[in-house]
Amino acid sequence: MGDNECCMTTHETRFRVRYAETDQMGVVYYANYLVWMELGRAEYCRAVGMRYRDLELNDGVLLAVVDAHCRYLSSARYDDEVAVTTWIEKANRRMVTFGYRMQNEASQLLATGETKHVFLGPGMRPVKLPEKYHSYFGIVR
């Protein structure tokens, strides 16, 4: 595996669509899919043994979103159960790209997406990810 490639470990996060997430037509408002990606990303990190909060508080490293894409395929509605599957598509010491797949309880694909993040220090300047976090992101030297 090269410096810019990662394993395909996935994590699934399940939840029910809340009424507040829907629009007047009873369909999930499109921006909520980005919120669901954030939920999936945070739970992925927690599942592999790393909390965002620790990265920020203990090491002053922030993950800034520099690019986000979502491809909408089918509508989700109030009270649907949604599963967000999250994985790391690629990572290196400067950035990480997460992939996402969202589907309902009938396994119907709702959306796919990805977010690209750069590691920033306290001054909002790019930094290299501390080595102790490399394994969480699948970074191999």
* Active-site annotation, residues: 23
Sign of the CA dihedral running 66, 81, 52, 2: negative
CA distance 100 to 69: 10
User: Exposed e or buried b for every residue in 3-24, given b needs 16+ CB within 10 A?
Assistant: eeebeeeebebeeebeeebbee
Distance CA 127, CA 55 (A): 13
Tokens of 83: 């599963």
